[in-house]
Amino acid sequence: MPIHRVRPDISVLNDSLEVPGIGHLPVNAFVLFASQPVVVDSGLGLPDRNFVEVVGSVLDPADVRWIWLTHPDRDHTGGIFDLLAAAPEARVVTTFLSVGFMSCERPLPLDRLHLINPGQSLDVGDRTLTAFRPPLFDNPSTVGFFDDRTGVCFSSDCFGGPMLSAELAQADHVGAVDEEDLRAAQLLWATVDSPWVQNVDVEKFRGSFQPIRDREPELVLSTHLPPAPGMAATMTDRLASVAGASAFVGPDQEALEQMLAGFEPGGGGQPAP
């Protein structure tokens, strides 16, 4: 997994996942080197990933004090239980609803939790992290946060976009992406990840971006986008326009059969000659 040090106090632990018909989706977790270190999300749970090892390349896992779980989707929780074992003093910061979702498969230990709601704050020693509900999300338990010391916005899925290649998904700066390609990717992702935007009240939806406008973050860190410095206003204006956009419609059975026709049975996903 590529690791980008985007600030002296923030590392991006980058991964990506190819989504057929969509593109290469960045899947980022983060380490915030506060005086009480914070890990934000815990990556993919695929068998060949070792999240604790990746964290250990930038920080002794035993020093982790907080694990901020933005929401319990599987691309955010892959290494959370291994990290809890490796970081015995760490507590998971998340919402009540998120804990409920997790309990359907493997419950989080209740004595290791710190429940938070949008608008509430967490003191991590040298800074305060203020929770907020991102304007776009695919899980109702989602909670991002603002780092009140640095002005960085951790936005979870919001502002994400599938990239045209794995190299772009792993870029250390969103400026590596062509502006028109970035615009198209973010608008597509909004309808994939948040299909409910087709039914929202336009003015209320636009108003949901106000906390980000008010904060004017100098850096936006999304799970599904390369780091985006100096682009909060541009991206906010862009995504505030998706109210009423039609939801993404994925491939149906006929399309699946066409895809399968190009592969050898039992061939490990290799195209037929």
DSSP class of residue 23 equals E
pLDDT of residue 148: 96
pLDDT of residue 273: 45
Dist CA 273 CA 263 (whole Å): 9
- Closest C-alpha among 2, 1, 10, 9 to residue 172: 2
Report whether 158 contacts 99 (CB < 8 A): no
Domains of the chain: 3-245 (3.60.15.10)
Dist CA 190 CA 188 (whole Å): 5
The residue ranges of the chain whose pLDDT is under 50 are 271-273
Report whether 261 contacts 194 (CB < 8 A): no
pLDDT of residue 15: 96
